[in-house]
Amino acid sequence: NLTGSLQRSEGSTAAQSTRLSTWLLVYSARLGMRTNGSLSVRHTESTSVATPYTENALIGKIDFRF
């Protein structure tokens, strides 16, 4: 299975405005009779004047039921 999402939010005060956007892509698969796995890729950007940042993440997960 392959799923994706995109989130955007904006806010402002008298002093500054902020925009945050995140996209996430997740691939999940059954690896065995009792094992599932997923691999996620995430990208986040914040355009805050005070503390702008960009984050990239790669997340792996294995679930085993016993």
* Tokens coding 29: 């698969």
User: pTM higher than 0.85 for the full model?
Assistant: no
Q: Are 43 and 22 in contact (CB under 8 A)?
A: yes
The predicted-structure confidence for 37-50, as pLDDT tens digits, reads as follows 999 999 999 988 77
Length of the chain (residues): 66
9-13, 54-58, 60-64: least confidently modelled range: 9-13
Q: Which residues pair with 13 in a beta bridge?
A: none
Residue 66 in this model has a pLDDT that exceeds 80: yes
pLDDT tens digits for range 5-55: 999 999 887 677 889 999 999 999 999 999 999 999 999 999 887 789 999
First to last CA, the chain: 23
